[in-house]
Structure 1
Amino acid sequence: MQRRRLSVVAIVSAVVAVVTAGFLVIGGGTLAAPGGRAGTERQGAKGGRTEAQEQGQLTQERLDAWRRAKATGTLRVKAAPAAPPTGWAGEQVISPTADDWEPAIAADPNAPYVYLLATRYTGPTACGNRCPLPYHVLRISTDGGATWGADRYLCACRGVQGQFDPEIEVVQNTGAVYAAWMNGYNVVFSKSTDHAQTWSTPVPVYGNVSWNDKPVLTVSDNGNDVYIAFNGPTGGDPYIAQSHDAGVTWTQTKIVDSKRYIYAFDGDVLPNGTVVFSETSLLYGNANTLTGQDLVYVYRSTDAGATWSTDLVDTVEIGPNCTAAGCPNDYYPGHAAITADANGNLVVLYDGATVSQGNETVWARRSTDGGVTWSTRQALSTAGEMGDFPSVESRGAGDVRAWYMQTNGDNFDAWNVWYRSSADGGATWTAPVKISDVTSGASYKTRNGFLEPYGDYGEVAITSAGKTIATWGEGNSYTGPGGVWVNRQT
């Protein structure tokens, strides 16, 4: 799952005031985020008030960009013919007019349900200026992603200023749906036992941790053991919240005390109960600029979260800065995705350069001993291009599905999404297939690709029919506007 830069919120009152009440279907309870004081910030580190101010400004900029596009007639995504590769339906946008960012997706392994969450920066909210903006929109498919129901609010959450970083998972043995997200500065958990029609009241998972960000959710096959990795104060230290009663009560463990900012991006629970999270460690210097190298870790517990090992998988160089409108200079580096198959074998994908400021490559490694040791890395993306934002999922024995984004002709205004799979646990991979196959109809679409990745998180899932379904964001720039797109195998 991937996931999130600049994702904590302090929405300014002028932003909230523009929202009008809406009439979408609402599912779930409400909860005002408990007050929390931002942690003390280290020199050069991101977090607390710094990110809050940035996010408030970014939200206003996205609303302004959306209004300009609407006024000039460039907002709506028009129907355009897809040119899907063999075996794919063709990509579709989930809303032709909304500004949607950083989606999450999960599929029921035993039934045709698929669930998609996106962060929507444009109203209507659930209750005007009393409900969050941005908010999480939920879509449900009962036929493996072929068709989708109406937009729903994941949680009206009155009194919350903004929602960010959605995570969603399906419990393998029961079909229950679990979700985690941020209400303002605070990570919460909710679940549904009726195929996402109704949701439990969100429960805070962060205990006494005063500031938290960027949650990553994973769950055991029976649904009892739930783990959420997140960043806490003071400058991005990694925490893991865990529940062993299906999300009713929570404890928190700080994994590392570091001067580096450590981003959680993905996680999984192996059949034997081992828990793994893929995380990347970045060091910020003055003015929030990255310095040094990107350290790729797998955090692992073999005793139900009582203790954790920190296993360094690779050290890579920091790639180029993002120069798109509104883009922070740490947008491109530092993503890592991980998955476990039915035998407990692991595959980790991550991006990184071989020389400082050089184009990044998407790398793959595999482990056949539960993450104790790792194979040598192999490149999945094309040499000479910028490869970024990988996502991966698996099922059965060695059946691995992955996508990543890549520039076209080393042009940072022409990105595409490429899909590869493996039938032997990541030892070998199929040839890449382009699944971002619509080349017109949106202001950010060209025959060469889309202008900018819209969010550094997206996901891939495998339906009960064994088909891949993938989601990601595309946009005009980091500021937007943009949309969430979906493609699926047929």
Structure 2
Amino acid sequence: MHAPRTTLRTTVAGLCAGAAALALCTLPAQAAAPRSPAVAATYTTGTPSEVSAGCAGQNAETIQAADPAANAVYEVWMGCKGIGLAASTNGGNSFATPLTLPGSTGQKGSRTWDPAVTVAPDGTVYASFMTSRSGQSYPVVDVSTDHGASFRTAGVIVPPDQGNWGDRDFIAAGPDGTLYLTWDYGPSAAAVTSVCPPSGSCAFATGDVNAVVQKSTDGGRTWSAMSHISPGYPNSGGDSAPVLVEPDGSIDVVYQGYAVTNVPTDDLTVAYTYASRSTDGGATWSPPVRIGPDAGTMNSTEWWIDGAEALGPDGTLYATWDTQGSTTDTGWLAYSTDHGATWSTPVQAPPDTLNVPHLIQVVAGPPGIAYVSWLSSSDPRGYAQYLRTFSIAQGWLSDPVQVSRSFGATAVWPGDTFGLSALSPTRLVLGWGSAVAPDPTTDQIWSDTVDVTLP
């Protein structure tokens, strides 16, 4: 259970205290974000709780989905000897004992990674994850019809190629219950080479990487053939494609698209964030639109999952991502009011541009409002989870606030993602991985709720 709740009022000056020597809050002139108004959003939160309690060993890379109709939150991560999941049926105030998803453990010679989760309109929970078995990599989809108390395997997505490469899956349910699953796919795992830093995940230096989508109309039991989101298959350079479905069934995706050189070795150079849309159930996709083309590029050593999107109740799309310079890393937010055809000039979200990871995501609030959160080690004390509110009409409605109360060890990988969901237009739930005292060598999953008071 959470401790008594506290109202947080944080300023940039307070966030940057003691870090001036590191230029924590340096803003490039051309990227300066709008100043926060005199009347600002405020945040009420409590003490984070450990969601992964009872799962021995490392627990990292959490991701999240919420069901506002049931006041439920579902946190899924790498851990619990496979893929762990914990459910909250009281709005994130407490979580049930974690369970291990079926199919994520006990298979000799296999491994599992990259979980995702979504809730269908009827309350059915679907959790997916990647697995590698018998020389193939592919997603597995589990299903729960009792609000996350138990799961069974609904189906697997069998690749068309032996020895294929597969990575990061995302799953979403449409208004009619149709499931859409995007994942990174390549015909040959042998063509993919990785760069793996000691305290992070892995990036890809070469490979036949592509963003693809498949759908299921029978609850995940069977799946359609692949549709290619990123053009140029099998050398498109596309990966990491979060997906959402609009009320009319249109599908929106943002993905990371790398420039590919020296085909057939498929060297991956720098990447941009692209938006694409399907109005025919994922069969065909619009030409990709580059978001924030002047904001910079992602490099080929970025190890975290980059790119996130959200849909507001007024149809506004929001996208977040971060770019790397030679000695900088900058997090961005942009929005679209025409279904992704055009995008606003991006604004800088985290105030610092330090050369450290900024895992950044977005969720929509009331019309014209977005909540942006990021997990970063920009503070010398370690990883922390931050939150900020943006208005299309007014710009930033607050300086960043730190939701996490402890700093995670930078030498321990926190995962490539974190959880961010809205239970109501002003009530958020966050989840993140962090190795904190009293055991700063072991990563655990933490969660907290945040109530936002808008000006």
Tell me the TM-score range normalised by the shorter chain. 0.7 to 0.9
Alignment partner for residue 359 of structure 1, among 328, 345, 355?
A: 328
| Alpha-carbon distance in 2 for matches of 1:318, 1:311 | 15
1:488 alignment partner in structure 2:
449
Residue type at the aligned position of 1:370: H
Change (3 A) 1:225 1:147: closer
Conservation of the 8 A alpha-carbon contact between 1:231 and 1:264: no
Conservation of the 8 A alpha-carbon contact between 1:420 and 1:432: yes
1:269 aligns with 2:217: no
Alignment partner for residue 239 of structure 1, among 187, 204, 212?
A: 212
* Structure 1 gaps, min length 5: 1-78, 124-133, 322-328
Alignment partner for residue 401 of structure 1, among 361, 371, 374?
A: 371
| 1:2-401 aligned within 5 A | 85=8, 86-95=43-52, 98-120=57-79, 134-156=81-103, 158-159=106-107, 161-171=110-120, 173-184=121-132, 185-210=137-162, 211=164, 212-234=166-188, 235-251=208-224, 252-255=226-229, 256=231, 257=233, 259=235, 261-282=237-258, 292-309=269-286, 310-315=288-293, 317=296, 329-331=301-303, 335-353=306-324, 355=325, 357-385=326-354, 386=356, 388-401=358-371
Report how far residue 374 of structure 1 moved. Answer: 0.6
Conservation of the 8 A alpha-carbon contact between 2:272 and 2:297: no
3-state secondary structure, aligned to 1:110: helix
Conservation of the 8 A alpha-carbon contact between 2:182 and 2:211: no
Report how far residue 296 of structure 1 moved. Answer: 0.9
Change (3 A) 1:414 1:370: same
Q: Which moved more, 1:367-376 or 1:455-464?
A: 455-464
Q: Which moved more, 1:291-300 or 1:154-163?
A: 154-163
Residue type at the aligned position of 1:231: Y
Report how far residue 225 of structure 1 moved. Answer: 4.2
| Alpha-carbon distance in 1 for matches of 2:267, 2:335 | 28
Report how far residue 397 of structure 1 moved. Answer: 2.7
| Alpha-carbon distance in 2 for matches of 1:119, 1:196 | 17
| Alpha-carbon distance in 1 for matches of 2:158, 2:274 | 22
| Alpha-carbon distance in 2 for matches of 1:395, 1:254 | 31
Report how far residue 422 of structure 1 moved. Answer: 3.2
Q: Which moved more, 1:343-352 or 1:91-100?
A: 91-100
Report how far residue 291 of structure 1 moved. Answer: 6.0
1:470 aligns with 2:440: no
| Alpha-carbon distance in 1 for matches of 2:272, 2:130 | 26
3-state secondary structure, aligned to 2:445: strand
Conservation of the 8 A alpha-carbon contact between 2:271 and 2:299: no
Conservation of the 8 A alpha-carbon contact between 2:3 and 2:47: no
**Number of residues paired by the alignment?**
376
Residue type at the aligned position of 1:194: D
3-state secondary structure, aligned to 2:44: coil
3-state secondary structure, aligned to 2:70: coil
| 1:441-456 aligned within 5 A | 444=408, 454-456=414-416
| Alpha-carbon distance in 2 for matches of 1:436, 1:290 | 38
Q: Deviations over 1:135-160 (max 9, x none)?
A: 01111111111111112122155426
Report how far residue 367 of structure 1 moved. Answer: 0.4
Q: TM-score, normalised by structure 1?
A: 0.68
Report how far residue 456 of structure 1 moved. Answer: 1.4
| Alpha-carbon distance in 1 for matches of 2:118, 2:393 | 22
Change (3 A) 1:368 1:317: closer
* Structure 2 gaps, min length 5: 9-42, 189-207
Report how far residue 80 of structure 1 moved. Answer: 12
Conservation of the 8 A alpha-carbon contact between 2:141 and 2:155: yes
Change (3 A) 1:317 1:372: closer
Conservation of the 8 A alpha-carbon contact between 2:384 and 2:406: no
Conservation of the 8 A alpha-carbon contact between 1:345 and 1:425: no
Q: TM-score, normalised by structure 2?
A: 0.73
Conservation of the 8 A alpha-carbon contact between 1:264 and 1:279: yes
Report how far residue 346 of structure 1 moved. Answer: 0.1
Conservation of the 8 A alpha-carbon contact between 1:400 and 1:422: yes
1:415 aligns with 2:389: no
Give 1 or 2: higher strand fraction.
Answer: 2
Q: Deviations over 1:294-321 (max 9, x none)?
A: 2111121122112112222234545689
| Alpha-carbon distance in 2 for matches of 1:80, 1:196 | 25
Residue type at the aligned position of 1:314: G
Conservation of the 8 A alpha-carbon contact between 1:407 and 1:415: yes
Conservation of the 8 A alpha-carbon contact between 1:347 and 1:426: no
Conservation of the 8 A alpha-carbon contact between 2:63 and 2:418: yes
Q: Deviations over 1:433-464 (max 9, x none)?
A: 1112125xxxx45xxxx555511111201125
Change (3 A) 1:464 1:365: closer
Q: Deviations over 1:255-295 (max 9, x none)?
A: 33254542224221112221111111235889x99864221
| Alpha-carbon distance in 2 for matches of 1:83, 1:408 | 24
| Alpha-carbon distance in 2 for matches of 1:190, 1:426 | 42
Conservation of the 8 A alpha-carbon contact between 1:263 and 1:279: yes
| Alpha-carbon distance in 2 for matches of 1:452, 1:359 | 21
Change (3 A) 1:465 1:338: closer
